[in-house]
Amino acid sequence: MTTTRPAPNTGAAPTTAAPTPGPGDVVRLRDTADFVRAQETPDLLARVLPGLDGPELRAMTERCRFAHAALLVFPPDGRTLRAELTAAGLSPDGEARPSVVVRERLAARHGLGAGELDVRILRPVVHGPGGEGRAVEVFALTVPEGSELAAVAAEERAVDREAHLAFDVERPDPLVLRGLRAGFLRHGAVADGGGYNPHEDGTVFYFAAPDETKTPYRRVELYARGDHRDVLAEHLDGPRAPHPAETLLRLLTGAWTTQALAACAELRLPEAMSPGVARGAEELAGAVGARPESLATLLRYLAMVGVVVEEPGARGAFRLTEAGLLLREDAGGSMRALALMYGGPFYESFARLAHTVRTGEPGFEDRFGENHFDHFARRPELAARFDRSMVASAAMFDPLPEHPVVRAAAAVPGGRTVVDVAGGTGELLGRLLAAHPSLRGVLLERAHVIEAARARLGAVAERCDFRTGDFADVPAGGDVYVLSRVLHDWEDERCRSILRHCAAAMPPEADLLIVERLLPVDSSPSLATAWDLHMMCNTGGRERTAAAYARLLADAGLELVGHGPLPLEAHVLHARRR
């Protein structure tokens, strides 16, 4: 929780004698304060939820920040508590507020009426490594000398159920809260209560930390300013079943997201922004040539889907997220060209999907009057954009230089030759040659792609032979053949023909590596299922299961040796001649 909330005291009347701090609680308070001062939000989130990393960690860090660690103490009166805080180096000043959430939790656990418990909350301020304001959240259950609550205090001290870590949610709204909650649950946290505190207009979501958590705290809190009892009800009782019309509306508006991202890329809005500096809609409109009011509407939508984020305390000022950065043309792994393709010609072709389902003919051909390879080849600017869009998924190639087949070829004295069949601008081949200087390459492609490939391969181009041709022209005598995202473009008979050309060119000991997405054998959600629809509508091709590829290989005189996963839900299949 933020440290700008009032830091209360217990409001108890002073006594005449000086109180004696309890040494155990003083140590606990001091240790908690030291912990809070030392933590960085990304590191702590990764320790709380092992397995949370990469883009998901960055996205969660954009939405919440470490705010406090909490503990429950049991002073006999308010003056003793203030003395304990002072002894622990914490400020005891401020006005007390009742802790509704903890009071109700304690009452439920111990079979007591909530009115029997005086639970107050104090938040002495401490500062993090960068000077950011944080707090030690101190819950104080008053247990007077000789009180029957002594048994409650003894049990709670032993179990320490109210000790927790807390993260404040930045700019909370239902979409953000549901997304954060889903992330916690996906990484092993378990919903563990919560509540709305009307005294400070804040909503608390508690989680039991995963068994694998790497902190001493077993509970985690998300705190959201405002009344979010609709989302809290889902947290406490399970998700509300959406109305069927709501479900359908969310699905039907998916096209709006595609066009919003394409418009963002077309306007070069990401180039006018940055991850670290927030800019207002009027300033951005001047930079990209847009109407400020209209751009503000687009920015709010982009914030909803996580491409930009509104700056805290600066209403109407936005900055890029890590996902939004990928829409910049100069970003590593840029997806700008892909956004323009999906919001452009492929968007138009999908309007003919019903035609494809009725007739089996690609919607692209129905819309443009020719297949997409010929259509792009006769339009150099569109062809270049398509080739750049293919590079957007190049992260799937990252592990391939270390594939055993590639490493074995590179280890042979004098080097071996890798033949990349229909390898586009050479993104994969370039990685293999750069990783292994002993290898030589051959790139087979259409004429209009070859020059772009020469430029892209740069220094390793001198170890590459560029061949213009079609699948019938697969060069013979290579050691490793590569077909990357080629077979899914075609129906089965065309795939058999391509594989037969490869088999005819391959020496007996050569290897064939095929990079594709594999359809799941059950109804599990997968990118391959989505791309299966895309390929059917745009090229007449399809995604396949590993078993289906094995059958195609067998028909071409090849044998599937095995397959393994790659990033972005891709796979590499290894085949050899039978």
Q: How many CA atoms lie within 13 A of 286 on its CB side?
A: 4
508: three-class secondary structure by DSSP: coil
Structure tokens at 502: 């490869």
SS (H, E, C) 451-467: HHHHHHHHHHHHHEEEE
CA distances from 380 to 341, 356, 375, 383, 452 (A): 14, 27, 10, 5, 11
CA distances from 62 to 141, 466, 563 (A): 35, 45, 37
Phi, psi of 174 (to 5 degrees): -55, -40
Across the beta sheet with 511-517, the strand order is 464-468, 440-445, 417-421, 480-484, 511-517, 570-577, 558-566
Phi, psi of 127 (to 5 degrees): -130, 145
385 near 341, Cβ under 8 Å? yes
Strands of 278-324 (E only): list them: 279-280, 308-310, 317-320
Active site residue 501: no
Give the separation between CA 527 and CA 567, rounded to whole angstroms: 12
392: three-class secondary structure by DSSP: coil
Biggest distance spanned by C-alpha atoms of the chain: 100
Which of 436, 488, 534, 563 is an active site residue?
488
Give the separation between CA 484 and CA 463, rounded to whole angstroms: 20
Closest CA to 73 of 99, 95, 52: 99
Q: Which helix (H) or strand (E) holds 484?
A: strand 480-484
103 near 117, Cβ under 8 Å? yes
Tell me which residue has tokens 């990209």: 288
Measured in whole angstroms, how far is the alpha carbon of residue 229 from the centre of its chain? Answer: 26
> 524, exposed or middle or buried, with CB in 10 Å at 0-12, 13-18, 19+?
exposed
β 464-468/440-445 pair status? parallel
β 133-141/164-169 pair status? unpaired
The one-character DSSP state at 19 is P
10 near 140, Cβ under 8 Å? yes
CA distances from 372 to 445, 530, 539 (A): 16, 19, 7
Closest CA to 405 of 564, 543, 276: 564
566: three-class secondary structure by DSSP: strand
CA 475-477-479 angle, to 5 degrees, is: 105
Q: Which helix (H) or strand (E) holds 514?
A: strand 511-517
Supply the residues annotated as catalytic: 488
